[in-house]
Chain A
Amino acid sequence: MEAKALMINHEKCTGCRRCELVCSVYHENVANPSKARIKVEKWEWEGLYIPMSCKQCVDAPCMNVCPVKAISRDDAQGLVSVDNDICIGCRSCVAVCPFGAMNFNPAIKKVFKCDLCDGDPQCVRFCDMKAVDFVDVRKESLSKKRDAAFKISEAKKLGATIQYEG
C-alpha cells in the first residue's frame, strides 16, 4: 500500500469546522469538537483559518518520548498509532508534539490522535473545498509546484506587458 497523507491547504479553508464535527461523530459517536482529532485554528479578525491535525511524522517525537512504547508507526500506511492497552496516560506525547496534535481524554484517561479513519478520512470526505485532502505523499508537492509556476507565469505576463508598453 502506498502511503497517503493528509495535505492541508489552509488557504482553501472556509473555517466551517465540519471536519471537527464529523471527526468526533465518526470516532466517538457524539458531536463534540473537543474530542475531534482535527481542529481549525482561527484568526478571525483577518479571516485566517488553519486546520491542524497529526502529521504522522516519520521520526515522531510522540513515539520517541513514550516511556512504554505504546506509540508505533506503520510506514506502509504512513500512520502513527497509540496502543491504548499499553498507554499509561502520562501525556509525555502531548507535551512534546510540535503541532498539538496529540490530545488527552480525561474521561477515559487516554491520549487520542488522528488515525486516518482506516484509510478514509472523514474530514477529507466532508470537506468540499478540499482544504484537507488525502494524497499520495510522493505527489504532495506536485500541485504546489503547479501553483507556484502559475504565479511565475502571471508575473512574466505582467513583465512582458510592461516591457512592451515601455
Chain B
Amino acid sequence: MSLDRKVAIVDLTTGKIDIKAIPLAVRKQFLGGRGLAAYLLYKYSKPGCDPLGPDNAVIFSAGILGGMLASASARTDVMTKNPLTGLLGSGNFGGFFAPELRYAGFDHIVAIGKSPKPVYIWVHDGEVEIKDAKNLWGKSVTEAQWAVREELGDPDVKCAVCGPAGEKLVRYANVMSGIKNANGRGGGGCTMGSKNLKMVAARGTMDIKIAYPREALEFDKRFIYQITSAKVNQTMGALGTPFIWGATNSWGGIRTNNFQFNQLLNADAIEPEEIDEWSKESMGSEYNMAACFGCQVHCRAKYKIPDTPLARKYGLVGKYDEGPEYTSQGAFNGEPGCPNLDTLLMGNHLVDQYGVDNLEIGSTISWAMELYEAGILTSKDTDGLDLRFGNDDAVIAMVHHICKRDTYLGNLLAEGGIRASEKIGKDSFKYLIHMKGMQNLHSDERATPALALNLALASRGSDHLRSRPAIDLYHLPVDVMRRIYSSPVAYDGPLSSDHTEYIGKPWQVVWHENCYMGVDCLGICKYHTTFLGATLPNFEDWAKVLHYNVGLDMSAKDIWDVAERANMVERLFNIREGMKKDDPFKGEILAERYFTEPCKRGAPDVIGKLIDKTKFLEMRALFYKYKGLDENGVPTPESLKKYGLENLDKEPSRI
C-alpha cells in the first residue's frame, strides 16, 4: 500500500544507508511531499549550517499520492537549506520522477554529508546504492540522464539531476528531471553539487496497492473532469503557461527593464499564440503538447529553436526543448526588455541544460542591466559586454557566463543578488527586487496588494507558488469568495472583489498558503487546485482522493491542519536560520521599490499604483494573527501545542 513506502537516509560522507519506515502518526501529521520534507529537513540539517557544507541536507520527497489515481500525481518536492538565501530552499517538479521513486519503494531520499568524489544514488525495487558518477559529472542535464540509462541498461530510469550549474555551485541551480521539469527556486542543484551528488536515479516495478480500486477509478474520472472542464485548464492545455503571460502583459503586470516598467511593449512575437504556432510548425504537428505523469491538461509545448543569426552564433539551431513557461518569458523577454522569440527559446533551453533557475537568472541579469545603465557597473566589470536593456545577445551570453562562472561578472552574479551587491557596493542593493534574498519572478504586484503580501510571506523567498491568491484578479462575487474562503474552516471577516484593495486579503493569503501546502503534500499539480481556477478541487475533494487511493481517512479540516502544521515547520526553520520580519535581507517585507515607485504603464486600474506601506504592514500583522503567530511572526506556545510541535527542537527525529 501507499503507506508502506520508505525513507532512505543516505550519508554521502560515510556511505552508510539507513532505510526507515514512516510511522503512521507522522504520516497523519505531514502526509508526504513538501510537508514531510519540511519535517525531515528540520531534523536532518544542522541548525546554522553552511548550506554548501556536509551538515546541510537535501531531501527528495514524493507526494503521498505519487503515481496513484489522482490527476497529475507527479510532483516531487526537493528541500534543502537554500545556498542563495540561507533560509528554506524548496522546489517542486512534475514529470515522472515521483511515481518512479514510489514504484521503487521509496517516498523520500535524504542525502546528508559530502561525498569525496562524484556519485549518484541508485534506487530500485526496495534497494538503494551509492554509485560512482565519474562518467556523468560534467554532463548536461539531459546528457547525464541518457548516459545513466545506458549505464544501467534501462531506458525507463527516471532521474533528479544536478546540472553543470549545480556542479559549478551557482547558488540558484535547480534539480532537473527529463527535458525540462525543473525543481526551481530552491537551490537544490547547488546543494547537490556541493555534496558531489550528480543525481538520484530511480526505477521501480513494485506495486502500490490502491485501497478501493474500482471506486478510485470512478472518482478519478470525475476528478479529472472537474479539472479539465475548467476553461483555464483548457487554455493551458492549448497554449501552456504563456497564456498567463499574454494576459498579464496586456494588463500591465509584467516587470520590464528590471523594475522600471510593468509592461513589455512591441511584444507581439512572444504572444502565446505566436509561440504555439512556432511550436506546431517546428514540430511538424498540430499535436504539440506534452504532459506529466497521468495529467490530462498537458501544458508543455514541444519546440525546436529556430534558425536565426543569434541561434547560429550560439550553435543552438534546431535544438529540441519543451515549454517555454511564462516564467521564461519574464526572465528572457520582459525583465531584460528583449521581445524576441529566439531569445526566449534559447534562454529557456540553456537553463534547462545547465540546470539553473530561469526566474533567478533572468532577474539577476536584468538587475545587472539596470546597474549598467545607471553606471554602477561599467564595461570593465562586464568584460566589454554591452549590458543595456534590449541586448538579446548579452542576455544569452550572461546565461553562459553565470552557469560557467567564466567571467568576472558571471562569477559574481552566480553568487546571487545580495552577495553580488555587497561586492558591487554603491546603490546596487536598492535596485534588487528581492524578498528574503531571492529575486522576484517577472510579475509586478504593485497593483495587487494580495499578491504583494504573498511575495513577502512566501517561505522560500519571493515567490508566487506558496500562497498567491491568483483568483483575486477575477473579480469574483463576494458570495462566491465567501464559499471558497469559508471552508474547511470558518471565516466571517471581510472579503473584497476588488484586487486593488487591502481589505480581506490577509485571509486569502492564509487560505491559499494552506491550499498550496496541501496540494504539495499530496503531490498533485497546483494547476489542479484553486490556483488559477475558482472551481478546481481543494480540501473536500482531496479527502476523497486520499480515502479511495490510500485508505487514509482524513477530513478536509484534517488536511487543512496538516497544511497549517507543515507551514509552521517551514516558518520555524526560517526563524531558526535567522529570519526576522523586518530584516532587509531575510525579512518578510517587500523590496523598498514596491512602496516608492508607481507603475508607469498598463490598464487604468494599474497605472500609478504602488503598495501603501502602512496598509501592507497592517495586512502582514493580520496574517500573523490568523496564523497563530505573535507580532514578530513567531508561532506562539499555544499554536505550537495545537499542532503538536512544542517538542520539535527537543525530541529526536521520529523518522
Contact = CB atoms under 8 A, between A and B. Distances in A.
B293 to A, nearest CB: 6
B208 A30 contact: yes
A40 B472 CA distance: 40
Interface size of B as a range: 35 or more
A16 B294 contact: yes
B285 interface: yes
Given A11-B285, A22-B69, A25-B217, A16 B293 contact: yes
A84 interface: no
Interface in B201-254: 204-210, 213, 216-217, 220-221, 224, 228
Q: Is the interface of A mostly helix, strand, loop or mixed?
A: helix
B81 interface: no
A14 B146 CA distance: 20
B228 to A, nearest CB: 6
Interface size of A as a range: 20 to 34
Interface stretch (A58-66, A120-128, A133-141): A120-128
Contact of B67 (A21, A42, A45, A122): A21
B82 interface: no
Contacts of B208: 30-32
Nearest to B216: A25
B142 interface: yes
Nearest to B225: A128
B503 interface: no
A159 interface: no
Contacts of A21: 67-69, 293-294
A128 to B, nearest CB: 4
A45 B320 contact: yes
B411 interface: no
Contacts of B302: 47
Contacts of B221: 125-126
Contacts of A35: 205, 207
A120 to B, nearest CB: 11
Interface in A1-48: 11-18, 21-22, 25-26, 28-35, 42, 44-47
Contacts of B67: 21, 31
Contacts of A13: 287
A25 B213 contact: yes
B13 to A, nearest CB: 34
Given A18-B294, A21-B67, A28-B207, A44 B103 contact: no
A47 B322 contact: yes
A25 B210 contact: yes
B142 A32 contact: no
Q: Which of A31, A33, A45, A47 has the most CB of B within 10 A?
A: A31
A30 B105 CA distance: 13
Contact of B103 (A29, A33, A45, A129): A33
Nearest to A24: B207
Q: Which of A17, A47, A122 has the most CB of B within 10 A?
A: A47
Interface in B448-467: none
B296 interface: yes
Contact of B283 (A25, A31, A47, A49): A47
B292 A31 contact: no
Contacts of A33: 99, 103
B168 interface: no
B176 to A, nearest CB: 13
B594 interface: no
Interface string B64-103: 0001110000000000000000000000000010010001
Given A21-B67, A125-B221, A44 B178 contact: yes
Nearest to B294: A18
Contacts of A125: 221
Interface string B284-326: 0101011111111010001000000000000000001010000
B476 interface: no
B207 A31 contact: yes
B621 interface: no
A32 B204 CA distance: 9
Nearest to B295: A16
A14 B291 contact: yes
Contacts of A30: 207-210, 213
Nearest to B292: A16
B290 A14 contact: yes
A34 B205 contact: yes
Nearest to A107: B207
A50 to B, nearest CB: 13
A15 B292 CA distance: 7
B179 interface: yes
Given A11-B285, A34-B103, 4 more contacts: A35-B207, A44-B179, A49-B290, A128-B228
5 pairs of A and B residues whose beta carbons are closest in the complex: A16-B291, A34-B205, A30-B207, A14-B291, A47-B302
10 contacts: A14-B295, A15-B291, A16-B296, A18-B294, A26-B217, A29-B210, A30-B209, A34-B204, A35-B207, A129-B296
Interface of B: 67-69, 96, 99, 103, 142, 146, 155, 178-179, 204-210, 213, 216-217, 220-221, 224, 228, 283, 285, 287, 289-296, 298, 302, 320, 322
